[in-house]
Amino acid sequence: MLAGSPPEVCSPKPTNPYRNPYSMLSVSLRPWATALLCTLFLQACVAPMLLLSPQSQLLWALMKPLVGLDPNEVNLLQQPVIKSRLEPLLGEHYGTAVSLLQTANELQQEGPLFYLVSRYTPVPEMAEKAGFVWNSDTNQMAVMLIKGDVTQVFAEPLQQAVQGSLASAVPTWPTALEPFAQGAASLNQNLNDAGKEALKVMPVPLADTAIQVPQTER
C-alpha cells in the first residue's frame, strides 16, 4: 500500500439468498432415502415368499416370473417339482391332462392362485378342456378335466388339521374355472363331513380324490 493511500476496506462476499441449508441436507440424505425405498420395495416383494414352506418357496420362485408368459417356453409342466406331484395325482389321466394343458399359452395369477387353462383339445375323445391350479397359500395342486357334461377334479389333500378339523381337500378355483366346478358344492360338503368323522378316529390326511362332477346348465 502506498503512503497516503486510503486504507482498503474488505467487504464481505455477497451471500446467495437462494442457498438453503435444508436443501443441502436433503441432497446429502437423498442416496440414503433411495436405498431405504429400494430396501422396503424388495421386502414387500420377498415377504410373501418367506411366509411359504420350502417347497412352496421353490414353486413360487419358479412360477412368479412366468406370469403372463408362455409356460411351454420352459416346459413348466415337465419341471420335476411339478411333474413329481401331478403324475401320482392324475394316474392314468396324466398324459391326457398334460396334452391339454400344454395348449395354454399363458400362466395366469389370481391372488394366491397360479393357473393354466387349455385353449383347445388335441385329444377330443378323452377330454375337451383342462385346467390346472396351484394355491400358494395351501401348497395344493388340482387339475380339472372336462368332457361333455362331466367334470373330473383331481385334488391333492391338505396335509394339516386346522383347529380340530381336517382341512378341506376341495380346491379353490380361479374365476375362469369356477363355472365348471359349481356343481361340486354338494360333493364338497360330503367330503368335509367325511373328513370330520375320520378325524374323530385318527387325524390322517384325506386321500387324493378324483370327483365326477356333472356340469350345471348355464
- b/e map of 13-36 (b: 16 or more CB within 10 Å)? eeeeeeeeeeeeeeeeeeeeeeee
Angle between helices 80-90 and 54-63 (to 10 degrees): 110
pTM comes to 0.62
In this prediction, residue 152 has a pLDDT band, given cuts at 50, 70 and 90, of very high
Q: At what angle do helices 54-63 and 21-50 cross, to 10 degrees?
A: 110
pLDDT confidence tier of residue 206, bands split at 50, 70 and 90: very low
How far is 22 from 54, CA to CA, in rounded Å? 48
Cell of 159: 396335509
- Taking the C-alpha atoms of residue 69 and residue 206, their distance in angstroms, rounded to an integer, is 34
Average pLDDT, integer, range 161-169 = 49
Give 5's pLDDT tier (boundaries 50, 70, 90).
low
Are 152 and 213 in contact by the 8 Å Cβ rule? The answer is yes
Question: Hey, what's the cell of 173?
Answer: 378355483
Q: What is the mean pLDDT of the chain?
A: 73
CA distance 71 to 56: 18
pLDDT band at 121 (very low <50, low <70, confident <90, very high): very high
| Sign of the four-CA dihedral 11, 17, 18, 23 | positive
